[in-house]
Amino acid sequence: MDKKISHTLDLLDIEETDRLLEKDIKFKLDSNSIERIKKSTYSKAGISRQKTFVTRGLSAIVAAMIIIVVSIFSIGFDNVVSAMGRLFGFIPGYGIMEDNQSIQYIIDGHNISSENSQAILTINSVIATKNNLTLNCYIKLKDFQEEKNLSNIENDIKTDKNNLVMAVNGKEYRPSGCSIGSGGKIKYISAAYQIEQDNLSTRNIYTFNYKKYNLSAEFRLKVPEGYDSLEEIGPTDTKNNISITAVSSLQDNKLLVELYPVNKSGLTITSFTKEYDFGYEKKDLTLETDQTSHSYTLPEGFMGVNNRFYFNVLPQEKNLTLKIPYLVVKSQEKMKKITLKIPEEGERVTINKKVNFKNSTMVISDVQRIKNGTLNGALRIYFKFENENKNMVMFNAQFRRVNILGMEQGGGYSTNLKDGIPQSIDYGLDEPDGDVLRLGVKDPEYFLLGEYNLKLSNILIGR
Amino acid sequence: MDKKILDLLKEKPEKGLEKLINTYSGLVYTIIYNKLNQYFSVEDIEECVSSVFYEVYKNRSVIDLSKGTLKAYIAVLSKRRAIDLFRKNSKHVINQISLETQDLEDCAVNRLFNVEDEVDAETKDMLIQAIKALGEPDSEIFTRKYYLGQNSKEISGLMGIKQNTVDKRLSRGLLKLRAIVDKMEKPQEMEGK
């Protein structure tokens, strides 16, 4: 109830807010805060009589986020071509950023790891900005027992934060924030630490200690290199305002290709490969050589969007070209609410209800009440798509049950595919649904067409 | 007052900003602080507050007072910027079990703000009317609690009412509002035909 009211009031527009706040309300704020806010605002506005004032905490967080935004999820307003003229920074295992001024240091070395009888800890990347250090690592458990109880996994993650300790110059730091992907044999961790500038330098030795597993790894920092172009980092191709740079290395006698995008499209990349078994027109990422076409294998596990692909290439193979026929992307837009009348059991009703997104339209053509072995059955919802942009082929979206206030409720659905493309979903019905099912539709997913061709060198030659 | 502030911002920006911040810093700070204080430092919150004022300054020529007061414009802007700040930094402040990174953000942002959701104008209108219908001082207590995010103790201090009384009034008012929200919860006429 409390949440519903607060949530509804959060969404008031200006006119509605006016009505709610028409009475004058008294506030209390200390004069020091007001003074700091004024100084900061004057500084932003370029009014010179005030001294420059930058809050340390936020600037560090924002700096760290800039890298993430550019390298993985960028929603930019200029395009990749204009970005080409800038200086690039590259952090192996992490990403590409357009301007590395905000990054002072990165880890010196790569894949630094340590091992004991329980697990193997590997540090993927470390970046340090002013007062902030972010570490990404993973833990591979040797004796893994699958935890089936979700709440145990959640509790485990909650307590884990305090086990991630960074030490430097005799001082210990706990994360100011972290993300943990868990529940499987491999745990992925991203932890951010607020560290004083004095303790961030190339002279120090840093010890990362995952106390839960009694595993620690030491590393130093170094100043990152700058690159004048993406091609200096690796072969690069650009389509639809997204450039992809490939970086090759040798791992366990296999060719490992890591893909690093600079994304100015306003869309979020969710995959470089097919999503379901078939892929768009049965195409998928491949490595072509003068002798054959190689399919890829994936790492044992990954967090977020996988950008690492392994190929069994022979040393004598030449003319290696990585072909990425399309990207899978999603467009983050406001959830669209729909209300569907639930027909009688077995009955199929044509409705042709349109759900409009920025780049395409989902047409819910029919609804049918079906038996699915549960008490209330399910509503099968058939859909098709109308695409305005020929390079963007919509193929899916996320469905959520909502209440009349538009707030998400529990529930789930299964997807029915034809040639790897969703054709309909079966949304499980509950008794309280009555004769209507209210759904929110969000995150339209697309195949973003335009083949990337990245010419790689065969680093196995001469081995 | 609003027109005077906007005119000052255009002609004498320094004075205009001074006036703007003196007038609305309490409102902006309260909204942003109560949204973000569990996750961000006071420094970060003050920086966000300052960003709101800077945005008003940047938009000084295009703000249309015929569409609403400056107070309402600033209040809406404050809510949006608090959400934006949380969304931008959600990776640093959340722990989740999902392996899909974007879900981490979505999940946390939704849990905090439900920003993906839409509420129709009729529902919002009913709620505003219901809060107004509570009469004073309950209407202000409810606005402080549910719009500004203040707790009973803060409300008590600012309104000069005993905390116990604030709690009782909130509890009684909620009963009245519950009837309205329950009514809103009942299925309406079906769409999708």
Q: Given A11, A17, A26, which is nearest B119 (Cβ)?
A: A11
Domain membership flag for residue B116:
no
- Phi, psi (5° rounding) for residue A321? -130, 120
Q: What is the pLDDT of residue B114?
A: 43
- Structure-token pair, residue A310: 């392994």
B90: pLDDT confidence band, cut at 50, 70 and 90? low
**3-class SS at B43?**
helix
CATH value at residue B71: 1.10.1740.10
CATH value at residue B168: 1.10.10.10
- Structure-token pair, residue A449: 């067409």
Q: Which of B37, B62, B87 is the last residue of a domain?
A: B87
Q: Which residue has the higher pLDDT, B125 or A120?
A: A120
Domain membership flag for residue A38:
no
On whether both A213 and A117 belong to a single domain, the answer is yes
Domain membership flag for residue B74:
yes
How many angstroms separate the first and last alpha carbons of chain B?
Answer: 50
Model-level ipTM above the cut of 0.90: no
Q: Given B68, B96, B114, which is nearest A407 (Cβ)?
A: B114
- Note whether A268 and A261 are within 8 A (CB): no
On whether both A371 and A421 belong to a single domain, the answer is yes
Of A443, A440, A415, A444, the residue nearest A339 (C-alpha): A440
Domain membership flag for residue A323:
yes
On whether both A237 and A358 belong to a single domain, the answer is no
Which residues 416-435 of chain A have a CB within 8 Å of chain B? Answer: 434-435
Of A407, A342, A13, A409, the residue nearest B184 (C-alpha): A407
CATH value at residue A184: 2.60.40
Domain that holds residue A206: 89-222
Please return the burial class of B117, using the count of CB atoms within 10 Å of its CB with bins 0-12, 13-18 and 19+. Answer: buried
Q: Return the bridge partners of A164, or none.
A: A210
Going by their DSSP bridges, the two strands A293-294 and A286-288 should be labelled as antiparallel
Q: Given A182, A337, A341, which is nearest B190 (Cβ)?
A: A341
Taking contacts as CB-CB distances below 8 angstroms, the residues of chain A near B110 are 408
> Cβ separation of A34 and B25 shorter than 8 Å?
yes
Query: For A351, which residue in chain B has the nearest alpha carbon?
Result: B193
Determine the distance in angstroms separating the CA of A18 from the nearest CA of chain B, rounded to an integer.
5
The one-letter code for the residue type at A159 is T
What are the tens digits of pLDDT across the range B153-185?
888 888 888 888 888 888 888 887 776 666 555
Domain membership flag for residue B76:
yes
Q: Sign of the CA dihedral B29, B32, B38, B42?
A: negative
Length of chain B, in residues? 193
Segment holding A462, helix H or strand E? none
The arithmetic mean of pLDDT across residues B48-60, rounded, is 88
On whether both B77 and B7 belong to a single domain, the answer is yes
d(CA A435, CA A439): 13
Predicted TM-score (pTM) of this structure: 0.53
Q: Given B44, B50, B186, which is nearest A41 (Cβ)?
A: B50
Q: Which residue has the higher pLDDT, A135 or B93?
A: A135
Domain membership flag for residue B32:
yes
Q: Which residue has the tokens 């994360």?
A: A175
Number of domains in chain B: 2
On whether both A203 and A123 belong to a single domain, the answer is yes
Domain membership flag for residue A172:
yes
Q: Given A16, A36, A407, which is nearest B124 (Cβ)?
A: A16
Length of chain A, in residues? 463
On whether both A144 and A178 belong to a single domain, the answer is yes
Domain membership flag for residue B190:
no
On whether both A278 and A208 belong to a single domain, the answer is no
Please return the burial class of B180, using the count of CB atoms within 10 Å of its CB with bins 0-12, 13-18 and 19+. Answer: middle
Q: What is the pLDDT of residue A108?
A: 87
Number of domains in chain A: 3
- Structure-token pair, residue A427: 């949304």
d(CA B146, CA B134): 14
- Structure-token pair, residue A445: 């997913």
Determine the distance in angstroms separating the CA of A454 from the nearest CA of chain B, rounded to an integer.
26
What is the number of CB-based contacts under 8 A between chain A and chain B?
Answer: 267
On whether both B58 and B11 belong to a single domain, the answer is yes
Of A99, A100, A138, A94, the residue nearest A119 (C-alpha): A138
Q: Which residue has the tokens 């519950």?
A: B178
Domain membership flag for residue B114:
no
On whether both B54 and B125 belong to a single domain, the answer is no
Determine the distance in angstroms separating the CA of A23 from the nearest CA of chain B, rounded to an integer.
8
d(CA B98, CA A50): 45
Domain membership flag for residue A76:
no
> Cβ separation of B146 and A68 shorter than 8 Å?
no
Taking contacts as CB-CB distances below 8 angstroms, the residues of chain A near B13 are 45, 47
Q: Which of A222, A248, A276 is the last residue of a domain?
A: A222
Q: What is the pLDDT of residue B95?
A: 37
On whether both B80 and B144 belong to a single domain, the answer is no
Domain membership flag for residue B14:
yes
> Cβ separation of A15 and B25 shorter than 8 Å?
no
A375–chain B Cβ distance below 8 A for any pair: no
Q: Sign of the CA dihedral B50, A190, A104, A203?
A: positive
Going by their DSSP bridges, the two strands A286-288 and A112-115 should be labelled as unpaired
Q: What is the pLDDT of residue A63?
A: 34
Domain membership flag for residue A352:
yes
The rounded mean pLDDT for chain A is: 80
> Cβ separation of B190 and A436 shorter than 8 Å?
yes
Of A303, A92, A101, the residue nearest A187 (C-alpha): A303
Q: What is the pLDDT of residue A350?
A: 94
B36: pLDDT confidence band, cut at 50, 70 and 90? confident
On whether both A351 and A422 belong to a single domain, the answer is yes
Q: Return the bridge partners of A121, or none.
A: A114, A139
Stretches in chain A below the pLDDT threshold 70 = 1, 48-89, 91, 93-94, 97-102, 144-158, 182-184, 277, 301-304, 410-411, 431-433, 458-463
Q: Which residue has the tokens 């049965």?
A: A282
Taking contacts as CB-CB distances below 8 angstroms, the residues of chain A near B159 are 26
What are the tens digits of pLDDT across the range A2-59?
777 887 888 888 888 888 888 888 888 777 778 888 888 887 777 744 332 223 333 3
Domain that holds residue B72: 2-87
Domain membership flag for residue B33:
yes
